[in-house]
Chains A and B, each alone.
Chain A
């Protein structure tokens, strides 16, 4: 590269960096503001000017959230329902994805189109049906009631099908020659060959389920059965809103997901890219 061209590249790079930093600040500031405010006294939070750091840092709101609310139960409910959704969604989706990708049976194409079509129906459209169904089944205010309607994730099936499609057919044929059963081929060849995608899809499904609000909000009315996303809306009392308290419980609610992001950053990015590629 000529020196002039190098200089142009550097200038372009610098501009992009500046824009990225500005965007990152705009995006990250509310999170910073939320976290910082949760350590402030309630009257500091409502002051009409911006204070970037608490004047008298305090943990009292966290103490309140942890001791005076049912946050322990909410955590437990969230962990149980998010894990349930993740395990069931991933295990059923990989079976469906495998069947559609590898097995030849009547109605395969129709089933595939049905799955693709169901992908275009937003959950909100179905939510009344879900509610009536779950209510009739007597599952409101139960973990099963929270989990069941959340198992519909066509995108997980689609990603699995695409990955299984890409496995060269010789592996399957070699396994068939090796006397492997259909379930054996799936569990001993196809899943181990696609561990990466299973990990990525599990993490992202867990995060979806953890962050789910609308359905758990409708399916649960008893405070002790709430998931954490629903539960934190309850951290107010008859005398009005306490922002710092609410922010402290929000930070606690978001903590596991943030941790998951940090630990599995690469896998999460991969999963989001995979599903975004399909979601278009």
Chain B
């Protein structure tokens, strides 16, 4: 196990810069998730750590050792691919042993490691099968097993659950979390699925447009998004965004929404003026009492334990609000909305975030 550090790392494909001066550190035993939309550079970054893509500038340290110029096999990391890449002509046992044979390990030691990994992943019965005789979930496990036998300094996962069906994905996610607890290895995991990121990560690295937007624990990035992008990308359903005119006096501010409604909040912004106001659906309650504004329910999604009410304010802005599980609201109803002003965020024109106290 080892820590991994990237120092001012950049990469270009021809004239296109795909990774722009990125630095961060993964601590030993930590589970870090790279989260971002397609084209954000998250897979490229992972492949640069693996050695499958070159690093044009900057340093990569794995366990304190400079690795940017080393061949992939010499970096002491193991990778689990999205489509598993299990060699179809080899049995599960040979798939797992392949990498160990290449470094000249004795057959006796290989057998012991394969048996260990099979026990950890509960797949002893599968060792003599070919990949084509396995289900998707089993293949996934073999791919992880192939990484485990190497006892690497770090595990790299490239969207490993995206080929599984929904139910299996949830189950495998839990298994991965358990595996991480059991072997306490450094793991870097790439995904565009924020649920996977939130549930698995010790820390999330959010990438957008080839640079890091924010690094933080799942709760930090959810509660205190560093930018408009992070606020919009993390959370499902996504954060509500409303145009607001802010007037400030000290730490107090008053926001005037597009439909004319006003609300006071405690927040530090440098100046008043036009901002985007962000608030998560669970901070917007449908109420029968006094509220901050009213809107017309357009779609009602009953999820059993809670109900998502999609509303349209007078000025046409859409806001998703949360109601209880047995909501009586129907589309077309006028509803009163109350904003929890302690959970408000303001975003300036550059996308910088300010959080309410």
Which residue in chain B gives the minimum CB-CB distance to A179? B73
B74: chain A residues at CB < 8 Å are 179
Query: Would A178 and B88 be within 8 Å (CB), given that A168-B83, A170-B83, A173-B52 are in contact?
Result: no
Contact assessment for A178 and B102 in the assembled complex, using a CB-CB cutoff below 8 Å: yes
Q: Give bound CA distance, A178 to B89, whole Å.
A: 16
Interface size counted on chain B using CB atoms at 8 A: 22
The answer to the question of B60 belonging to the interface, with a C-beta cut-off of 8 Å to chain A, is no
Q: Chain B 67-105 against A: per-residue CB contact (8 Å), 1 yes, 0 no?
A: 000011110011101110101110000000011001100
Q: Is the CB of A189 within 8 A of B87?
A: yes
Q: A179-B73, A179-B103, A189-B87 are in contact. Are A173 and B81 (CB under 8 A)?
A: yes
Minimal Cβ-Cβ distance residue in B for A173: B52
- Contact indicator A176/B72 (Cβ below 8 Å): yes
Partner of A176, one of B73, B87, B146: B73
Using an 8 Å CB-CB cutoff, how does the interface string of A157-182 with B read, 1 for contact, 0 for none? 00000000000101101111111110
Q: Is the CB of B99 within 8 A of A176?
A: no
In the bound assembly, the distance between CA atoms of A193 and B87 in angstroms comes to 8
Per-position contact with B for A175-196: 1 when CB-CB < 8 Å, else 0?
1111111001000110011010
CA–CA, A195 and B79, complex, Å: 27
Chain A CB within 10 A, most for which of B82, B99, B103: B99
Asked whether A177 lies within 8 Å of B102 as measured between CB atoms, the reply is no
| Contact indicator B89/A193 (Cβ below 8 Å) | yes
Tell me whether B50 is interfacial, beta carbon within 8 Å. Answer: yes
- A177: which B residues are within 8 A, CB to CB? 50-52, 72-73, 77-79, 99
Interface centre among B72, B85, B89, B98 (most CB of A within 10 A): B85
Cβ contact of A174, chosen from B51, B71, B85, B89, cutoff 8 A: B85
Give B129 Cβ to nearest chain A Cβ, in Å.
17
Return the contact of B81 from the options A174, A180, A184, A189 (Cβ within 8 A).
A174
Task: Please tell me if the beta carbons of A170 and B89 are within 8 angstroms of each other in the complex.
Answer: no
Residues from chain A with a CB closer than 8 A to the CB of B51 are: 176-177
The docked-state distance in angstroms from the alpha carbon of A181 to that of B81 is: 20
Q: Give per-residue flags for A73-84: 1 if the beta carbon is below 8 A from chain B beta carbons, else 0.
A: 000000000000
**Other-chain contact of A179, B79, B89, B99 (Cβ < 8 Å):** B99
Closest to A178 in B: B99
* Total contacting residues, chain A, CB less than 8 A: 18
- Interface positions of B from 125 to 183, Cβ below 8 Å from A: 146
Q: How far is the CA of A171 from the CA of B50 in the complex (A)?
A: 15
- Collect the chain B residues with CB atoms within 8 Å of residue A195's CB: 89
Shortest C-beta distance, A167 to chain B (Å), equals: 10
Assuming A179-B73, A189-B87, is B102 touching A174 (CB within 8 A)? Answer: no
Contact of B102 among A173, A184, A193 (CB under 8 A): A184
Q: How far is the CB of A242 from chain B (nearest CB, A)?
A: 53
Contacts of B52 in A (CB 8 A): 173, 176-177
Docked-complex contact A170 and B98, CB < 8 angstroms: no
For the complex formed, measure the closest distance between the CB of B307 and the CB atoms of chain A, giving whole angstroms: 43
- Specify which chain B residues have a CB less than 8 angstroms from the CB of A170 in the assembled complex: 81-83, 85
The one of A180, A181, A193 that contacts B98, using a Cβ cutoff of 8 Å: A180
Distance of A179 Cα from B71 Cα, bound (Å): 9
The complex places the Cα of A280 from the Cα of B146 at a distance, in Å, of: 43
With beta carbons under 8 angstroms apart, the residue of A178, A192, A193 that contacts B73 is A178
How many whole Å from A104's CB to the nearest CB in chain B? 12
Q: Which residues of A contact B99 (CB under 8 A)?
A: 177-180
- Distance from A185 Cβ to chain B, minimum over Cβ atoms (Å): 10
Q: A174-B79, A176-B72 are in contact. Are A188 and B98 (CB under 8 A)?
A: yes
Name A171's closest neighbour in chain B (CB-CB).
Answer: B85
| Nearest residue, chain A, Cβ from B103 | A179
Query: In the bound complex, do residue A192 and residue B89 qualify as a contact, i.e. CB atoms below 8 Å apart?
Result: yes
For B98, the chain A residues whose CB sits under 8 A away are 175, 178, 180, 188
Q: In the assembly, what is the distance between CA of A181 and CA of B99, in Å? A: 11
* Set of chain B residues within 8 Å of A168, measured between Cβ atoms: 83, 85
* Chain B 178-194 interface 0/1 with A at a Cβ cutoff of 8 Å (1 = within): 00000000000000000
Which residue in chain A gives the minimum CB-CB distance to B152?
A177
Q: Return the chain B residue nearest A174 by Cβ.
A: B85
CB-nearest residue of chain B to A194: B89
27 intermolecular pairs with C-beta atoms under 8 Å apart: A168-B85, A170-B82, A171-B85, A171-B87, A173-B52, A173-B79, A173-B81, A173-B85, A174-B87, A176-B71, A176-B72, A177-B72, A177-B77, A177-B78, A177-B79, A177-B99, A178-B98, A179-B73, A179-B74, A179-B99, A179-B102, A180-B102, A188-B98, A192-B87, A192-B89, A193-B88, A193-B89
Closest 6 CB pairs of A and B: A179-B73, A178-B99, A170-B85, A174-B85, A179-B102, A192-B89
A: residues with CB less than 8 A from B are: 168, 170-171, 173-181, 184, 188-189, 192-193, 195
Residues of B within 8 A of A (CB): 50-52, 71-74, 77-79, 81-83, 85, 87-89, 98-99, 102-103, 146
